[in-house]
């Protein structure tokens, strides 16, 4: 089909869209109009592909997977779609004939930030691989009117601005107002027995309409085209019917607004889930609309729900959509008269769950009273799930109340979403080997003992086409010329590149590409900020959400120690380095905001120091997002992955840096462990305590002060922070290290890992001086990165968890 598409047909299609939608002649169209027309035509191409794919999926009665996630951090789509479809050069020519550059359209495209970080980006990468591998898949999420806030740094302080992404990107979506579903909140539930059957009646509820907005997802040269369906809350009924006709005009509007608040904004925290009722409502809204949709589609094709679990895999990405479990129970029992037992069997056979965190404070819990009032029917189902669970556990562990109350879904007036997710799904996976082991050993140990077969691992992966082929075209082209283009669909073939680790010409080429990517980044930075960068300095990058456990502070200690060295030794001879930080802090996370201020002020002080600034610079990259990552990763020399061992579930940024030939300085945490295995210890800089050693250190009693006293360098660095930078006071951070502000001193063991980190970073830096050896290691990293492709992760999910097959012509 695509073969019929060429520069000429594209140009004609663009002209027709421009005249039809904007009422101007093609030669008079402005950039925005051309951009919008391009989107319209790409959508047409995808629509045709999608209907062909759907036809075959239906005809083959293929099993489908539904991926539910509160976040899809899709980023810009145009380049990805054109390249996946193999139509970039045709479009470039057609756009040029209208007087514009395709690259300018790319640059102008907004970056929909419908996610916080790793979890949301993973969902987006997975849709790409699912489609490329021809699996029938649908992503479900919410159409937030405002995505994650835009970050401004004003005198070191993070300021949050609304992310108005819709004008510019909403063109990718098709509103299916014909396919809405009602979602009900509040009200009263009465249960009556009629002829031996329980009849549930639900009255006095508030109803909100879920309107689907669909975005088609392309795969790389795939037969498949899949759908990402985002629900938007609309209150048509209340608005039009009752109040409006009675002349209560403003009340009608107000009520309408309350319902529409549901999908107004993405919660900007990815750590401490706040027990906010609006968030719970968002979760139920996603789950209820999606499940009604899945059930209706299934019934339309099969006319029965008896084969539901055989034909549908429902995946919950973290516990946020865990209400899937009671909601599917509700639909099966209340609407389709399933017995509890048959409904439960169907639910557990359909649902699988991925956990993304081990931090106890990040596990979602809801106040039971609030839960009951907002979702009365769901509450009663959750209580019954809990009653049956506890009865089974009582048989297994008679008298062991402590264990049973740990495992309960409802206890101490709280609903525990993680326990609900484990009991209601057939498979639970972690996102790296280490993380999955920790789940079995601690977080879910009780459940693991009861059902060990339920627990498994799928190490995360990234969309390597986006993160290597499209964002680093120079490296991709070198790979095409050396190992051939097979790696684009078979990422493990990157291992062939290792043969070139000793090849002088290839080493020189890789080195040159890195340098040119640094120049591109510097140009981008200049356009963005007006500032300049030294592209001959080492680009050392830590880009991720700001979190204590990710230890931006450990990085700061290192930089302060280097700064100290420069100031105190008269003739320092160190490689020039630029330390980049990027990342947002949750608006209510004051410590994280203080960390940003510290980094920013340290940068300011160094810039004002004529001696220091010759050697080092600290740059805070404002508003780190997907599009920035796409220019930053290819330009990075050193990737900082320095979380406290046992805390980062996986990390995926680490993989994006690696595949772009950066060297990792990291702890044995999350996916770093597997990266070290894949690339070999000689090609990665590992330091610090292991997860096991961390546990032991806590058990034996950790004294931050001992580390402080034992290391001159560390002591000086902490004291230097205490003295402040650029006229600002940071003594609070120094006491955070030494005495603890709220509870424990140095809760993420920065001081314990400092010496090891400083030494290891120093080793990396001196290796950098031998550029040939360094670049050869970079080649080994690129060659070993194939395992960390989402194609591999998705193949594992498909075969081991979802049991779905590819659908081809």
Distances (CA, A) of 290 to 116, 126, 377, 789: 21, 18, 18, 28
Q: According to CB under 6 A, which one of 279, 372, 426, 516 is a site residue for ligand 26Q? A: 279
Closest distance of CB 270 from ligand 26Q, Å: 4
* Nearer of residues 234 and 354 to ligand 26Q, judged by Cβ: 354
d(CA 703, CA 472): 45
Euclidean distance between CA atoms 243 and 514, whole angstroms = 63
Instruction: Name the one range near ligand 26Q by CB under 6 A: 117-125, 294-302, 502-510, 564-572.
Output: 117-125
Residue 652 within binding range of ligand 26Q, rule CB under 6 A: yes
Question: Among residues 119, 137, 382, 676, which is the contact residue for ligand 26Q, using CB under 6 A?
Answer: 119
Choose, by CB under 6 A, the member of 583, 603, 670, 688 that binds ligand 26Q: 670
Give the DSSP per-residue string, 707-728. HHHH-HHHHHHHHHHHH-BTTB
Question: What is the torsional sign of CA 734, 737, 738, 742?
Answer: positive
Q: Is 656 a catalytic residue?
A: yes
Q: Given the residues 138, 427, 636, 652, select the one marked as catalytic.
A: 652
Length of the chain: 809
User: Pattern 129-158, binding to ligand 26Q, x per CB under 6 A?
Assistant: ------------------------------
**What sign for the dihedral angle of Cα 195, 199, 201, 207?**
negative
Q: Which residues in 382-531 belong to E strands, given as ranges?
A: 410-411, 414-416, 427-430, 455-457
- Scanning 114-122, 619-627, 682-690, 710-718 for contacts with ligand 26Q by CB under 6 A, the matching segment is 114-122
550 catalytic per annotation: yes
**DSSP annotation string for 671-702:** THHHHHHHH-GGGSEE-S--HHHHHHHHHH--
Please give the Cα distance from 805 to 809 (Å, whole number): 13
Quick check: 118 binds ligand 26Q (CB under 6 A)? yes
Contact 726, 604 (CB under 8 A): yes
Region from 39-47, 217-225, 271-279, 393-401 binding ligand 26Q, contact rule CB under 6 A: 271-279
356 among known catalytic residues: yes
Choice among 43, 49, 50, 356 that is catalytic: 356
CB 671 → ligand 26Q: shortest distance, Å?
7
Largest CA distance in the chain: 93
The least CB distance from residue 591 to ligand 26Q, in Å, is 17
d(CA 654, CA 788): 10
Q: Is residue 649 involved in binding ligand 26Q (CB under 6 A)?
A: yes
**Nearest-approach distance from CB 583 to ligand 26Q, in angstroms:** 12
8 Å CB contact between 432 and 647: no
By CB under 6 A, which span of 268-276, 377-385, 400-408, 490-498 interacts with ligand 26Q?
268-276
Identify the sign of the CA torsion 682, 684, 685, 688.
negative
544 is catalytic: yes
Contact residues for 144 (Cβ-Cβ < 8 A; gap 6+): 114, 263, 264, 265, 266
650 binds ligand 26Q (CB under 6 A): yes
Per CB under 6 A, 267 contacts ligand 26Q: yes
Structure tokens at 206: 């508030």
Question: Which residues within the stretch 411-440 sit at the binding site for ligand 26Q (CB under 6 A)?
Answer: 431
Tokens of 423: 């009991």
- Cα–Cα dist 286/379, whole Å: 17
Binder among 113, 136, 273, 461 for ligand 26Q (CB under 6 A) = 273
Q: Is 73 in the site for ligand 26Q (CB under 6 A)?
A: no
Minimum Å distance from CB 364 to ligand 26Q? 5
How distant, in Å, are the alpha carbons of 213, 233, 719 from that of 179?
10, 13, 62
The H or E element containing residue 127 is: helix 118-132
In whole angstroms, the minimum distance from the beta carbon of 652 to ligand 26Q comes to 5
Query: In the complex with ligand 26Q, which residue's Cβ is closer, 272 or 449?
Result: 272
- Through-space distance between the first and last CA atoms of the chain, rounded to whole angstroms: 12
**CB 148 to ligand 26Q: min, Å:** 10
Indicate whether 460 belongs to the interface with ligand 26Q (CB under 6 A). Answer: yes
Q: Of the two residues 122 and 543, which places its CB atom closer to ligand 26Q in the complex?
A: 122
- Of 122, 348, 468, 501, the one binding ligand 26Q by CB under 6 A: 122
Closer Cβ to ligand 26Q, 119 or 305, answer by number: 119
Q: How far is the CB of 154 from ligand 26Q (least distance, A)?
A: 25
Nearer to ligand 26Q, 95 or 458 (CB): 458
Strands 225-234 and 137-142: parallel
- Interface positions, 621-640, toward ligand 26Q (CB under 6 A): none
d(CA 683, CA 667): 14
Binding site for ligand 26Q (CB under 6 A): 116-119, 122, 267, 269-270, 273-274, 279, 320, 356-357, 364, 431, 460, 648-652, 670
Q: Which amino acids are annotated catalytic?
A: 356, 544-545, 550, 652, 656
């Amino acid at each position: 089909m695509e073969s019929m598409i060429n520069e000429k047909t594209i140009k004609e299609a663009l002209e027709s869209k421009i005249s039809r939608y904007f009422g101007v002649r093609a030669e008079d169209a402005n950039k925005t109009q051309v951009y919008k027309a391009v989107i319209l035509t790409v959508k047409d191409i995808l629509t045709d592909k999608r209907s062909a794919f759907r036809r075959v999926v239906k005809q083959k009665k293929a099993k489908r997977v539904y991926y539910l996630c509160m976040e899809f951090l899709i980023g810009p789509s145009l380049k990805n779609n054109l390249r996946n479809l193999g139509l970039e050069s045709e479009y470039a020519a057609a756009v040029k004939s209208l007087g514009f550059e395709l690259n300018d359209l790319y640059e102008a495209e907004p970056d929909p930030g419908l996610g916080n970080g790793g979890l949301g980006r993973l969902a987006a990468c997975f849709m790409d691989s699912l489609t490329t591998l021809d699996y029938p898949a649908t992503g479900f999420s919410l159409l937030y009117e405002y995505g994650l806030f835009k970050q401004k740094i004003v005198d070191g302080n993070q300021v949050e601005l609304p992310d108005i992404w819709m004008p510019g990107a909403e063109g990718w979506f098709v509103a299916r107002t014909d396919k809405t579903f009602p979602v009900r909140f509040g009200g009263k539930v009465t249960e009556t027995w009629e002829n031996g059957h329980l009849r549930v009646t639900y009255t006095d509820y508030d109803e909100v309409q879920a309107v689907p907005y669909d975005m088609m997802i392309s795969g790389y040269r795939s037969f498949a085209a899949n759908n990402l369906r985002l629900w938007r809350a609309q209150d048509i009924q209340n608005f039009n019917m009752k109040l409006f006709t009675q002349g209560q005009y403003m009340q009608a509007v107000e009520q309408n607004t309350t319902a529409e608040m549901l999908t107004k904004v993405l919660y900007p925290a990815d750590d401490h889930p706040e027990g906010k009722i609006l968030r719970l409502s968002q979760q139920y809204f996603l789950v209820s609309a999606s499940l009604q949709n899945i059930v209706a589609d299934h019934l339309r094709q099969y006319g029965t729900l008896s084969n539901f679990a055989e034909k549908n895999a429902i995946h919950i990405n973290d516990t946020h959509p865990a209400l899937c479990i009671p909601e599917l129970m509700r639909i099966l029992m209340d609407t389709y008269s399933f017995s509890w037992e048959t409904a439960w069997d169907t639910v557990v056979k359909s649902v699988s769950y991925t956990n993304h965190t081990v931090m106890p404070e990040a596990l979602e819990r809801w106040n039971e009273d609030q839960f009951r009032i907002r979702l009365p029917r769901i509450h009663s189902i959750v209580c019954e799930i809990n009653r049956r669970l506890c009865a089974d556990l009582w048989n297994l562990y008679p008298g062991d109340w402590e264990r049973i109350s740990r495992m309960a879904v409802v206890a101490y007036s709280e609903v525990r979403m993680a326990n609900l997710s484990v009991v209601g799904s057939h498979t639970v996976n972690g996102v790296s080997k280490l993380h999955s082991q920790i789940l079995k050993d601690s977080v879910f140990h009780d459940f693991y003992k009861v059902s060990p077969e339920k627990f498994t691992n799928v190490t995360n992966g990234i969309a390597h086409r986006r993160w290597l082929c499209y964002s680093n075209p120079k490296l991709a082209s070198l790979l095409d010329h050396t190992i051939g283009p097979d790696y684009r669909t078979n990422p493990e073939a990157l291992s062939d590149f290792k043969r070139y680790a000793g090849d002088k010409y290839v080493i020189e080429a890789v080195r040159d590409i890195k340098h040119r990517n640094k120049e591109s980044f510097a140009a981008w930075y200049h356009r963005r900020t007006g500032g300049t960068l030294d592209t001959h300095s080492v680009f050392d990058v830590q880009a991720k959400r700001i979190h204590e456990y990710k230890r931006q502070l450990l990085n700061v200690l290192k930089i302060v120690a280097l700064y100290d060295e420069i100031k105190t030794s008269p003739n320092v001879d160190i490689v020039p380095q630029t330390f980049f930080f990027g990342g947002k802090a949750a608006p209510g996370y004051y410590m994280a905001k203080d960390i940003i201020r510290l980094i920013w002020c340290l940068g300011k002080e160094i810039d004002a120091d004529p001696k220091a600034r010759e050697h080092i610079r600290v740059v805070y990259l404002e508003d780190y997002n997907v599009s920035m990552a796409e220019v930053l990763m290819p330009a990075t020399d050193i990737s900082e992955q320095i979380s406290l061992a046992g805390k980062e579930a996986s990390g995926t940024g680490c993989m994006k840096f690696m595949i772009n030939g950066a060297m990792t300085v990291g702890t044995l945490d999350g996916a770093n462990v597997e990266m070290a295995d894949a690339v070999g210890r000689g090609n990665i800089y590992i330091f610090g305590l292991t997860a096991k050693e961390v546990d032991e250190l806590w058990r034996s009693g950790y004294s931050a002060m001992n580390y402080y006293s034992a290391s001159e360098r560390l002591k000086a660095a902490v004291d230097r922070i205490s003295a402040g930078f650029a006229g600002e006071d940071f003594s609070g951070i120094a006491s955070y290290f030494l005495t603890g502000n709220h509870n424990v001193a140095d809760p993420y063991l920065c001081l314990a890992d400092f010496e090891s980190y400083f030494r290891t970073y120093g080793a990396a830096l001196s290796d950098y001086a031998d550029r040939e050896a360094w670049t050869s290691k970079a080649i080994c990293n690129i060659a070993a990165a194939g395992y960390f492709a989402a194609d591999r992760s998705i193949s594992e999910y498909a075969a081991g968890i979802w049991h779905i097959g590819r659908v081809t012509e």
